[in-house]
Amino acid sequence: MSMDSAAWSSLYKISSARDGKHGFSLESVRRILSFAVPYRAKLLIFIALSVVGAFLAVATPVLAGQVVNVIVARGAVNTIVWLAVVIALVAVADAAVSLVTRWYSARIGEGIR
């Protein structure tokens, strides 16, 4: 069993206990959140970057669909080239956001003790 599946299995067992006890009490949640307090700013930046990354990930297929629509409608080649440039810029922005998001994730994860 891999480390990930073992962790998910343990989490599932805790959260679906049938003995009347819930896996997470309010006290446990408060304790977990207390570890995050010193990293509030980094967490907010991380979440914001994750949202931006999600939008950029969706933008590429939407723009590719626009390229297909222009081609089917026998639109101007300039429009296709412009959309291709925008897709390339979105890909570069997505890579940059992804890199910074991973950096923040690592910094937060390494700092919590």
Residue 21 is assigned to a structural domain of this protein: no
**Can you give the residue range of the structural domain that contains 91?**
38-111
Count of structural domains within the chain: 1
Q: Is the pTM of this model over 0.85?
A: no
Residue 80 is assigned to a structural domain of this protein: yes
Residue 26 is assigned to a structural domain of this protein: no
Residue 1 is assigned to a structural domain of this protein: no
Residue 3 is assigned to a structural domain of this protein: no
Residue 66 is assigned to a structural domain of this protein: yes
Determine the residue type at 42.
Answer: K
pLDDT in tens, the chain (113 residues): 566 677 777 777 766 665 555 567 788 888 878 887 888 888 899 999 999 999 999 999 999 999 999 999 998 999 999 999 999 999 999 999 999 999 998 988 887 65
* Secondary structure tally for the chain: helices H, strands E: 4, 0
Distance CA 60, CA 89 (A): 10
